[in-house]
Chains A and B, each alone.
Chain A
Amino acid sequence: MEQFLDPLLIVTLALNFVALGVSRLRAVISAVALQGIVLGVLPLLVHPEIGWRGIALVGVTIGIKGIVIPRFLIHAMREANIQHEVRPVMNFMMSLLLGAIGTGLAMAFSFTLPLLKEHEHALLVPASLATAWTGFLMLTTRKKAIMQVLGYLLLENGIFLFGLLLLEAIPFLVEVGVLLDLFTAVFVMGIIIHHISREFASISTEHLSELKE
């Protein structure tokens, strides 16, 4: 099973670039949803003998990251009637370039960190850092509230990837807590998106610029 791990991680990295380089919201939501599903499968590959707890984790992860949250976001998107990220703070070419640089640096940095023997060969750590970095980039350079939520999801996905190294060490409760918190965070953000769209007739956070020095 382990031979599938690296190809799937490369898919994850590729999806990062899709999310960074596309302006259609629908496409970005799909990319993040697909990444969520890929991530959900990974525990099976990292720890083939994970038992019922692992199976449950796989189900919950795919359910929340791959289905519930994306549907929620598509709903928010329809409600607010927007399709595109119009004018990001930084153009798409530039953010792709920064994403690539970040991914390269993540590779370089992760080779300086000592790893256990059984984790050494896999791309888990660089993929985790690169995905978190992509999320960070989207959070800071996009103006649409939904895009920022998607960036936050990518950031959480990066953290989830790292969590795979600790699947045996971290009790289940924490993992569920992670997913649950993620869900509620998006839920609350969704409500606020709703309010933004009602208040400003658009969900661009550009309008949220009255408060500054």
Chain B
Amino acid sequence: MAYLLVAFPLAMAAVTFAAPSNRWRPWLLPAGGLAHLALVLWAIFQPAEGSLPAVVGLGGWLLLDALGKVVLGFLAVLFFLCSLYAPGYLALRSDRPNRVFCANLFASQAMMTLVTLSHHLGLMWVAMEATTLVSSPSIYFNHNPRSLEATWKYLLIGSVGIALALFGSFFLAYSSVMAGLESTLLFDQLIDEAPYLSPPWLHAAFALLFVGYGTKMGLAPMHTWKPDAYGEAPGLVGTLLAGGVTSCAFLAILRVYQICRAGPEGEIARQIMVSMGLLSMAIAAVFMVRQRDFKRMLAYSSVEHMGILVMGIGVGGLAVYGALLHLINNGLAKGVMFLSAGNIHRAYGSKLTDHVQGAIRRVPLSGTLFLAGFIAITGAPPFGPFVSEFTIVNAALNDGQYIAGALFLLLLGVVFIGMGATVLAVVEGKPASESHFSGLRDSISTGAPVLLFMALVLMLGFYIPPPLESLLKDAAALLEANP
């Protein structure tokens, strides 16, 4: 079962790569996405056999626990919705060969699945690095100098981050060697051993792993690849990066955090998470004000929300549940934003607010969705992100963490204003001269998937399905378990 989850998208990647027709190949994406989603759901709801989880493999190196289930389930939904958008998008870009692009999407889905299943520090690292490698060619889809620059930065900064994470993994392993324990890199055993691990090594390991995986996640100040990559990649890839790859890196940080919490460094780790989270929000807020490029604006919004995630985990208590829920809300809302921004970008042939005005008149559906997505992502009711952000701030205030809570609210306010100015500039006003209009209008194939994303974001604002809620609670309990 565990092998199948990874092998299936890999096989699909091979099939896609072998498919001869540029025109029909993109339709393999929704087919494969749906099948993978079905597989994942089946795996998630397999009943555990006694004390053993249902999905294990490689002698415990692969294991699907509650935390993995939340991220994997979300990844499968995200990929499926994105794959619905792909055929319509690629039909508009029929001038470009899409063989490598489509195969890479499947390959990165396989690697991300492997990250969620890995229960071994080394294996997780390998999977994370592979995710970086296979996702980078998709950023270069447009084959122009700007996307080349973005790909180079993504690859180089991402690889350095991942190298630091490996260094951290070695430090962590040495901390158990140092303590005279039987050295292991399996998470469950590391958590059991955590109280005995050598504190200086564990401390250094957490710092390196946090910086390393934080780079992949795009936390400030290691976020510099993000605006370039998200700005130049197709909206579809932006969604998968902002929702998928970053969630995997977040999961990696959570695994390490779990170990630290069980050990002597728990309190320091917690404080690092809160302060780095707030720093990311603050830096994102600064760069979002007066941002003229609306796709780069989305990248800074992603930096902000990554900050919210780690801060929520650091605050602890109910906020952990909030942060995990926010992972889903943010990813789905990012889907709305990136895909509608992609549609607007294509309609105008520009992504600068100087040229793009009055989107709501020219591409009514995408313009409206872009505006609605903005309202959702900034945490206004009645959408999903409101619920999760409210949970986090509520937990912080109830726990007496007033400064963190107040800063959180303040930064959310600044972001709302900064982002609002750019979004309104795009949506409102009179469409500028006809010179910036490519003639492309809204169509069902590129509009309906975005509507689906929006519907899910709206639904999570009112109603969280009971199976999802119990999964989230189990995952939060794993992170909050008292050693």
Contacts and interface: CB of A to CB of B under 8 A. Distances in A.
Contact of B152 (A114, A155, A205): A205
Interface in B181-233: 183, 185, 198, 200-201, 204, 227-228, 231-232
B150 interface: yes
A160 B198 CA distance: 21
B407 interface: no
Interface in A171-208: 171, 173-174, 177-178, 181, 184-185, 188-189, 192, 195-196, 199-200, 205, 207-208
Contacts of A211: 146, 149-150, 153, 227-228, 231-232
B382 interface: no
A199 B227 CA distance: 22
B174 A210 contact: no
B156 A152 contact: yes
Given A139-B156, A152-B159, A166-B174, A210 B149 contact: yes
A200 B144 CA distance: 11
B151 A170 contact: no
B150 to A, nearest CB: 6
Interface string B146-171: 10111111011001100100110011
A148 interface: yes
A6 interface: no
Contacts of A207: 145, 149
B356 to A, nearest CB: 18
B152 A196 contact: yes
A25 to B, nearest CB: 18
B178 interface: yes
B177 A159 contact: no
Nearest to B231: A211
Contact of B133 (A173, A178, A184, A196): A184
Query: Main SS of the interface on chain A?
Result: helix
A90 to B, nearest CB: 18
Contacts of B201: 113-114
Nearest to B300: A213
Contact of B126 (A112, A166, A181, A213): A181
Interface residues of A, number: 44
A85 interface: no
B152 A208 contact: yes
A113 B177 CA distance: 13
B148 A195 contact: yes
A31 interface: no
B148 A181 contact: no
A140 B309 CA distance: 29
B158 to A, nearest CB: 10
B122 interface: yes
A132 interface: yes
Contacts, number: 118
Contact of A152 (B163, B176, B200): B163
A166 B156 contact: no
A39 interface: no
Given A208-B149, A211-B231, A162 B170 contact: yes
Interface string A156-173: 101100110110111101
Interface string A105-145: 00000001111100000000000000010001001000001
Contacts of A208: 145, 148-149, 152-153
A70 B415 CA distance: 47
B129 interface: yes
B148 to A, nearest CB: 6
A47 to B, nearest CB: 14
A177 B126 contact: yes
B355 to A, nearest CB: 17
B8 interface: no
B148 A185 contact: no
Contact of A115 (B123, B159, B178): B178
Interface in B272-311: 287
Interface string B117-157: 00000110110011001001100100001101111110110
Contact of B198 (A114, A145, A171): A114
B200 A166 contact: no
Contacts of B159: 152, 185, 189
Contact of A199 (B137, B145, B163): B145
B37 interface: no
B67 interface: no
A113 B156 CA distance: 30
Given A185-B133, A208-B148, A171 B160 contact: no
A171 B123 CA distance: 10
B164 to A, nearest CB: 8
Nearest to B177: A169
Contacts of A165: 170, 174, 177
Contacts of B174: 162, 165-166, 169
A210 B145 contact: yes
B398 to A, nearest CB: 38
Interface of B: 122-123, 125-126, 129-130, 133, 136-137, 140, 145-146, 148-153, 155-156, 159-160, 163, 166-167, 170-171, 173-174, 176-178, 183, 185, 198, 200-201, 204, 227-228, 231-232, 287
Given A169-B173, A171-B185, 4 more contacts: A189-B159, A192-B148, A195-B140, A211-B153
- 9 nearest CB pairs, A to B: A169-B183, A174-B122, A208-B149, A177-B126, A211-B228, A181-B129, A162-B170, A159-B167, A155-B163
Interface of A: 112-116, 132, 136, 139, 145, 148, 152, 155-156, 158-159, 162-163, 165-166, 168-171, 173-174, 177-178, 181, 184-185, 188-189, 192, 195-196, 199-200, 205, 207-211, 213
12 contacts: A112-B200, A139-B156, A156-B163, A159-B170, A166-B174, A173-B123, A174-B126, A181-B129, A185-B159, A192-B140, A210-B149, A211-B153
